[in-house]
Amino acid sequence: MVRLLKISREELRDTLGSKMKEGYSYLTYITAVDYVDHVQVLYFIEDLENSNSETIAVDLPADDLNIHSVIGLFHAADWYERELSEMFGINIYGRDCERLLLREWDGKVAPLRKSFVWNTNYETDANGDKN
């Protein structure tokens, strides 16, 4: 249902830059999905005047989670990128990130990765199955 524009990470900034020239000047959201073998980073951009939106997806191999920051293009990416690096353990270079934004407890784990298992020992789902 969502049309993803899949690009490689080297093309990311060029693509976003050219999209910006087309009028997609508003960055709505950055998030990521962990597909275990790779992590997909998604950029949702928006043309406010014509209400067009575009979703750009970048696949990162699980053993090489590095991506360049887009903060130079979209300042709104600031906190999203910080959240991304904290929650997914993605290293975002090309920017300075002085402290953790959402997490102050630990710098090691990446809670939104599938490798991080939510402790559900004492909880059961609707079918009564132990998770």
Partner 1 sequence: METKINIGPVHPATHGVLRLVVTLDGDTIKRVEPYIGYLHRGVEKLVETRMFMQSPSYMEKLDYVAPMSYDELYVSTIEAAMGIEVKERAKYLRMILLELQRIASHLLWLATTANDVGQWFTIYMWAFADRDRVLKLLEEATGARMFYVNMRLGGLNRDVPEQFGENAIKLMEYLDKRLPDYESFLEGNPVFLERMRGVGILKKSDAVKYGATGPVLRGSGIDYDARSNHSYYLYKELNFYASFETKGDCLARYKVRIKEIKTSINLVMSAVNKMPKGDALGMPIKLINPEPKNKEVLVRRELPRGESLMYLVADKQRPYRLGIRSPTFVNLSLTQHLPIGARIADLFPILASLDPVMGDSDR
What is the footprint of partner 1 within residues 38-57 (CB under 8 A)? Answer: 42, 44, 48, 51, 53, 55
DSSP letter string, 87-126: HH--EEESS---S-SS--S-SS--TTSTTS----TT-B-T
Under rule CB under 8 A, how many of the chain's residues touch partner 1?
40
31: CB partners within 8 A, 6+ apart: 41, 42, 44, 80, 84
Backbone angles phi, psi at 54, to 5 degrees: -140, 140
Residue closer to partner 1 by CB (options 10, 47) is: 47
The contact pattern for partner 1, residues 1-30, with x = CB under 8 A and - = no contact, is: xx-x--------------------xxxxx-
What is the footprint of partner 1 within residues 70-89 (CB under 8 A)? Answer: 74-79, 83, 87
- Count the helix, strand and coil residues of the chain and give each as a percent rounded to the nearest 5: 15, 30, 50
Residues that bind partner 1 (CB under 8 A): 1-2, 4, 25-29, 31-34, 42, 44, 48, 51, 53, 55, 74-79, 83, 87, 100-104, 111-112, 116, 118, 120, 123, 125-126, 131
